[in-house]
Structure 1
């Protein structure tokens, strides 16, 4: 008897499930040296470059933790790039009120992070902790408590400014559009 060379999925109806082709499926491996997992998560090789690395989930997480967008730039160039991108990111600024992410995971601005440093708090501190730290530091450095102390007056001003920045950010997060 002659061997049949006819495929079982000719015509209609299709006799096999979709994706059950006979050809081998090409799987891209993780670009990390020595890793044999599928590399299905793209990551940029450098800023503003179309070239991509393809990592597995574990190595993509490691890559993202170590990514420094401003690497190789001077402080002035980094500030200029940040200002340019803030000016061009109007569409993203409209969705700030959605609060998709929690504090400490990139949802705080650079000014908020500096304010938290002034108040000696962690990046994931809630507003009650901010208020408590502000009251404690304001009492310690108040000009009425420490008269004729220029350093205490500067620290008091810094604490007040930090609290104002964080209060305004908290009010923006609390505001929900109609």
Structure 2
């Protein structure tokens, strides 16, 4: 006599394994001729039409680059529509002062992003690039190179502070990792 195996399911679907189903998944292919990527980005076939093309991200970006939202409208109608949409989205503009959705991937603080900007670097620059940029810029405005120049002294202090902020952040990352 074989014994029934006890289930760890407990009847709660969320405790079951993800992706354990065996049903076929429908994947829509990009509508662009010759593209075999998944077409998961809908795009309107014409203004005010429910018909949609389904493109991959690359072809959707290409399609939308040439899209004119105000095509076929006279100046007054286009201005009226633009004003309506600005009033509808005014809440999003109002929240911009909180600094949401700034540049970067979220791994750097606002101070780090300001420091990178002061050194003239991109938000995703690594610490070797930071060190090189700091050395080259600091050498140009060092007080020994330009004695008595107040503007150069201020720039040197800015570069020093930016480097210190980024160095401390790099040390914290190394310590955590």
Q: Same fold (TM over 0.5)?
A: no
**TMscore range, shorter length:** 0.3 to 0.5
Q: TM-score, normalised by structure 2?
A: 0.44
Greater relative CO, 1 or 2 (CA 8 Å, sep 6+)? 1
TM-score, normalised to structure 1, is 0.44
